[in-house]
Amino acid sequence: MTDAFIGIDQSYGGFSIAIWVPERHQMEFNLKAFPAQKYGQGVDRLKAVSENIVNVFNGIYEKDLEIKHICMEGYARNSKFRREEAGELASMVKMTLSVAASKPVSYPTVVAPTQLKVFVTGNHRASKEDMIAGVKAKWNVETRNDNNADSCGLAHIAEALHTGTSHAPYEADVLGNLKPHTERFPVAIAA
């Protein structure tokens, strides 16, 4: 089996899953939008996203790829708009991964948007255009879609976490501040 690393940038407007296969120098994207007009609201929309994830993962396994690590972008917790919807989507993604991927890989590493921006560009305030330019400059990945750029960066973070390698001090700083398989182990509760 060949190693693969997954990056997931989740949003209803552009849900992107990047599949990075270093041995083949191959980056593949699955990008899909889930507009409410087509998929409905609430549970129906969440089910459509979940089914898409399962289909993508089934395709990965059919190609004899072994997923070594998954990173998914966290959401801006202080966001004023639609933060509950974003939290609901992130929760559903985690639940779907718990059945679509093997353990412990099924526990993704959650990467804050600012950490992702720093890893790709060195700048925590990078724009969408900066991210697109960053993945082109850093990994020679061409995309015009910022969701794909984000998922590409996340897939490379997954690889760096798995291999323990970084190529710049700012990358090492990001890796040092991440908790691999973020929600795998329960947090000790103070008595």
**pLDDT of 191 strictly over 50:** no
Domain segments of the chain: what residues?
A: 2-176
CATH architecture of 2-176: 2-Layer Sandwich (3.30)
Contact between 44 and 138 (Cβ < 8 Å): no
Q: What is the pLDDT of residues 127-157, one digit of tens each?
A: 999 999 999 999 999 999 999 999 999 999 9
pLDDT of residue 82: 62
d(CA 180, CA 161) in angstroms, rounded, equals 7
How do the residues of the chain divide into helix, strand and coil, expressed in percent and rounded to 5? Answer: 50, 20, 35
Rounded average pLDDT over 106-132? 97
Q: What is the pLDDT of residues 13-60, one digit of tens each?
A: 999 999 999 999 999 999 999 999 999 988 999 999 999 999 999 999
Helix axes 146-163, 113-121, angle to 10 degrees: 80
